[in-house]
Amino acid sequence: MAEHDLVGELDAFLEHHEPDLIDFRRDLHAHPEVGYSEHRTTRKIAQRLEAAGIQPLVLPKGTGLIADIGGGADDEATVALRADIDALPISDEKKVPYRSVNLGACHACGHDVHTSILLGTGLFLARAAAAGALPAKVRLIFQPAEEIAGGALDVLAAGGLSSVDRIFALHCDPKLEVGKVGTRIGPITAACDAIKVQLSGRGGHTARPHLTADLVYALGKIITELPATLARLIDPRSSLSLVWGRVNAGGVGNAIPDAGMVEGTVRCLDDAAWQAAPEMLKNIMESVTSAYGVAADLSYVRTVPPAVNEATSTAMVAAAADRVLGPDAVVQAPQSLGGEDFAWYLQSIPGSLFRLGTRRPGSVDEIDIHQPMFDVDERCIAIGVQVMATTAMTAIGLAGGAVHAAGPADGLIDAGDGPMVAMASGNPGGVRLTGPLLAWAGLRRPAGDASRRVGILWARKENLASCPNQASSRAGPATCLPRPAGRPRMAGGFIA
């Protein structure tokens, strides 16, 4: 598919397929299946893929599937796109024709939308492949059991990322209006671990605490000292937080019990801090409890690591969204302390998880994900297909303006107000930077103005310091245009 055809081809495809994809989503929404029970969902996806000549492979546990599209017979997939397919064990309380018929199960996290978008993207890519326009293989991963955090590990165990260089996924975001896409370099979701401390010691009368281990007092110390000391030992930039949710000890007011427990979660946006947390907590706990003569047992259950978006992959998503949705569509996604098992893939290979706006413009009641009334503006499905397909094309270098990693792409940058598109007078030559450029993407000529090319570049702010508006031209000395009105300050600028 020629570069200039991609947007038009997508429009033509969606004109025909959007109603069908919405029907597909509504069918999934009406028949939600929780983690590892997604048999009907898996069958429905497989049927649709097979009808398009794609041969999916069902994962060993019987739900979820993987399918490769395009490339030559001997090629291996180098780009993967992932959707999670499972529902939540909560009731659907919406009054819509596609309300869940499965009691106690609901697609309240939008995975029905993710699945429909990936299906649509796959059908589009298959069409491109049939036209001989997809010379590299793209892998679709329909992953089960995201909500119970096992599905990504099953995909990895099944070799789902073998040969894959880069992986992408999206997640519905009801805080963003439909038509917007949120990207972020670095951690976008958090590690979320479960912690439980159980204490035991000699109980007795509250009149004689000196003859007991005074377990309730020791438990109180644990509750206050563990989070406080941890906050002094861990780099605050890791956003590590220990918050208790449940505490239990004793039965009456005048007896010191011989056992007690407290439970909570540890959330964290930094991989190194996440790795260090269990040992650190154990040491703090032992130093606190040793003073009181109680025995302490720490249970620390890891769920998922932080999802850390790689710079170049994130640039690819932003470039793709910019290309199909326009320069105002891409916004900086906030960090979330929620967990997402896409993080396991990002521990293995570079990739990016982005936010897809799903909120109806002007709607006042913003219903968050994991709520029984959660629903989306279904226009987000076609938009998701546009961004996903273009991202895949960008990643395999077919969309034009493919992202070029021009320097260390694994560092975090202070993205400030987020990736931006800006304009400057055209000077041929190289980007004038005072330090390494992380990545650039999305070069194109704006309609009606052949003299300029616009795109996105990513660099550390300090390395663009020569330009007062944080932008830099391709030639030196830097030619900077004033920041366009309404544009926030940027970390990355333009290619003129």
Which CB, 82 or 444, lies closer to Ni ion?
A: 82
Is residue 170 a contact residue for Ni ion (CB under 5 A)? no
Helix (H) or strand (E) segment spanning residue 30: helix 6-30
The alpha carbon torsion through 333, 160, 439, 388 (nearest 10 deg) reads -60
Which CB, 10 or 376, lies closer to Ni ion?
A: 376
Q: Is 282 exposed, middle or buried (0-12, 13-18, 19+ CB in 10 A)?
A: middle
Is residue 421 a contact residue for Ni ion (CB under 5 A)? no
Which CB, 109 or 438, lies closer to Ni ion?
A: 109
Which CB, 88 or 423, lies closer to Ni ion?
A: 88
Name the token pair of 448.
Answer: 């009606």
Whole-number minimum distance, CB 371 to Ni ion, in Å? 12
Whole-number minimum distance, CB 14 to Ni ion, in Å? 24
Whole-number minimum distance, CB 28 to Ni ion, in Å? 14
Is residue 423 a contact residue for Ni ion (CB under 5 A)? no
Which CB, 92 or 214, lies closer to Ni ion?
A: 92
Name the token pair of 426.
Answer: 């055209």
Whole-number minimum distance, CB 356 to Ni ion, in Å? 11
Is residue 424 a contact residue for Ni ion (CB under 5 A)? no
C-beta separation of 240 from 270 below 8 A: yes
* H-state helical runs in 72-209: 111-130, 151-157
Is residue 169 a contact residue for Ni ion (CB under 5 A)? no
Whole-number minimum distance, CB 204 to Ni ion, in Å? 49
User: In whole angstroms, what is the distance from residue 401 CA to residue 398 CA?
Assistant: 9
Q: Residue 377 to residues 113, 304, 305, 363, 372: CA-CA distances in angstroms?
A: 10, 29, 30, 10, 16
Which CB, 109 or 119, lies closer to Ni ion?
A: 109
Q: What track of x and - describes contact with Ni ion for positions 51 through 90 (by CB under 5 A)?
A: ----------------------------------------
Q: Of 96-115, which residues contact Ni ion (CB under 5 A)?
A: 109
Which CB, 67 or 109, lies closer to Ni ion?
A: 109
Q: Residue 434 to residues 148, 297, 344, 404, 438: CA-CA distances in angstroms?
A: 46, 53, 35, 18, 12
Which residues have a Cβ under 8 Å from the Cβ of 194 and sit 6 or more positions away? 263, 264, 265, 266, 299, 300, 301, 303
Q: Is 223 exposed, middle or buried (0-12, 13-18, 19+ CB in 10 A)?
A: middle
Whole-number minimum distance, CB 332 to Ni ion, in Å? 20
Residue nearest to Ni ion (CB): 109
Whole-number minimum distance, CB 374 to Ni ion, in Å? 10
Binding residues with Ni ion: total (CB under 5 A): 1
Is residue 321 a contact residue for Ni ion (CB under 5 A)? no
Contacts to Ni ion by CB under 5 A: 109
